[in-house]
A and B are shown apart, each in its own frame.
Chain A
Amino acid sequence: MRLVSRASVLLAAFVLSSGPVRAAGDFADRAPTTQAWAALATLPDWSGVWTPDMDDQFHQARTNAPPWTPKVAAEMAAMAADEKAGKPHGIFQNCLPEGMPSWMLVSHNALEFLFTPGRVTLLGESDGSRLRRIYTDGRAHSADPDPSFHGEAIGHWEGDVLVVDTIGVMPETYIATSEAVGVPNDGDLHVVERIHLAGPDTLHDDLEITDPHVLAAPWRTTRIYYRHRGRKNEIVEGECLQGSFNEGHDAQGHAVFAPVAQDQGNVVPGLK
């Protein structure tokens, strides 16, 4: 690789780290430079595979419940009682992406980070679309982003902390405290995250979640992840929808997926 001067690395590092946002178009449409690639080396090491601390999640569900509105609090209490009684609500049973913020709150599965110039990408195991693109190229939020499961995520570095601001999340996407207790955000969700190493192999995602439809106040919570290395820990393909099919053969003897009925003892959310 061609050597680059420390000054130019520092300059590119400034581009990576400065923020929160620049005028749209400043960097977003430019081809990355050698300096921009080299500047990635100045970022903290988040390589490896990260798995969530489930015990802490369960602990937080008991001790740091979201400040639900009174109406939603009653709904969540009923769902929690059903879960405790062994009749869980299958809020993710349709295998659509958990989306934001639930992926970061309740997933049982591993994730990894990729750094490229102007972007941090999160790739997750389990459902096939578990993917977040966090733009760190200096752009501002779109005026009216198309809603998506993971929303429009704009990030910037404050030292070794990645600050991510997410809007544009579909209203149907859940704010969940478990895989059986949660509520659609109903629109206008705003999530601000501060993602940082809290130890050599420990990562914290500090989230502040604002949602005027279901939360009476911003909810601040932290998800803890632990780093793993080695081939057995690598992320593998995991298509959630695969569980909806049998591996079978058609009349010509070709290997095919055959749909099967769905039910795992979960109560499937219904429409009114």
Chain B
Amino acid sequence: MIRKSLALAGSLMMALGLAAPAAFAHHSFAMFDQTQTTAFRGTVKTFQWSNPHAVIWVVNDAKPLATPDVWTIELTSPGNLTRMGWTRHALSAGDKVNVEINPLRDGQHGGALKRITVLATGAVLTSSLIIPGKP
């Protein structure tokens, strides 16, 4: 319920042009279904490069609704992302992207990022929730 409220608040804040909520403390990743993949095309609303988990909010372009269909997509930490080749400038608001995520098990519009493609440049960035093992 709190989660739903948070998602609603996030949508509202985004609609008002405000920064989206962070709210990603240090936690388990078991709420993501890592056996499933959801993919869609969208527009980056916000890319938040913050600890303990970076977050991308993406508007699903397939559903042009009065209230935008905003997906909250979580990544690992900036330190781990840097080791995977990311930078804090990897994405910008307005970027058209294809995203692949492990979705939330409860069906809400969010997930853990697997891969994102920036359509204008073809740049592909991948992410995993845990850092790769043996180098």
- The chain A residues found within 8 Å of chain B, CB to CB, are 51-56, 83-84, 86-90, 92-95, 108-110, 125-127, 178-180, 201, 226-228, 232-233, 235-248, 260-266
> Please, which residues of chain A bring their CB within 8 A of the CB of B30?
83-84, 86-88, 180
Q: Which of B3, B22, B53, B130 contacts A246 (CB 8 A)?
A: B22
* Complex Cα spacing A54 to B131, Å: 8
Cβ-defined contact, B51 with A263, below 8 A: no
Query: Chain B residues with Cβ under 8 A from A244's Cβ?
Result: 22-23, 25
Bound Cα distance A228, B82 (Å): 13
Chain B 100-135 interface 0/1 with A at a Cβ cutoff of 8 Å (1 = within): 000011100000000000000000000001110111
Query: Counting CB contacts under 8 A, is B5 at the interface?
Result: yes
Decide if B6 touches A51 in the complex (CB within 8 Å): no
Q: Which residue of A lies closest to B20 (CB)?
A: A246
Closest to B32 in A: A86
Complex-state Cα separation, A237 to B29, whole angstroms:
22
CB-based contact A228/B77 at 8 Å: no
Interface size class of B (residues with CB under 8 A): 35 or more
Complex Cα gap A180–B129 (Å):
15
A264 CA to B31 CA, complexed, in Å: 8
- Counting residue pairs across A and B whose Cβ atoms lie within 8 Å, the total is 155
Chain B contacts for A265, CB-based, 8 A: 3, 27, 31, 104, 106
Q: Are A90 and B19 in contact (CB under 8 A)?
A: no
- Please list 6 pairs of residues, one from A and one from B, whose beta carbons are closer than 8 Å in the complex, sorted by A's number: A89-B28, A126-B51, A179-B26, A243-B22, A243-B52, A264-B3
Contacts of B106 in A (CB 8 A): 86, 265
Evaluate whether A226 and B22 lie within 8 angstroms (CB atoms) in the complex, with A180-B30, A242-B51 already known: no
Q: Are A260 and B22 neighbours in the complex by a CB distance under 8 Å?
A: yes
Chain B residues with CB under 8 Å of A266's CB are 27-28, 31
Whether A261 contacts B79 in the complex (CB less than 8 A), given A88-B28, A240-B51, A243-B52, comes out as no
* Cβ of B75 to closest chain A Cβ, rounded Å: 12
In the complex, how many angstroms separate the beta carbon of B83 from the nearest chain A beta carbon?
6
Nearest CB of chain A from residue B107's CB, rounded to whole Å: 11
Q: Pick the contact of B3 from A110, A235, A241, A263 — CB < 8 Å?
A: A263
Min distance, Cβ A258 to any Cβ of chain B, angstroms: 8
Going nearest first, the 4 A-B pairs with the smallest beta carbon separation are A88-B28, A265-B31, A180-B28, A88-B30
B19 proximity list for chain A (CB < 8 A): 246-248
Min Cβ gap B68→A in Å is 19
CB distance from A224 to the nearest CB of B (A): 9
Contacts of A235 in B (CB 8 A): 79
Q: B135 to A238, Cβ gap below 8 A?
A: no
**B133–A246 touching, CB < 8 Å:** no
The answer for the CA separation of A109 and B53 in the assembled complex, in Å, is 12
- Cβ of A246 and Cβ of B27 under 8 Å apart? no
Report the nearest B residue to A98, measured CB to CB: B26
For the complex, give the distance between the alpha carbons of A236 and B89 in Å.
Answer: 16
Q: Say how far B80's CB is from chain A's closest CB, in angstroms.
A: 7
Chain B residues with CB under 8 Å of A88's CB are: 27-31
A238 near B21: Cβ-Cβ < 8 Å: no
With A53-B133, A238-B51, A260-B21 as contacts: A92 and B79 at CB distance below 8 Å: no
Q: B48, B129, B135 — which one has the most chain A CB atoms within 10 A of its CB?
A: B135
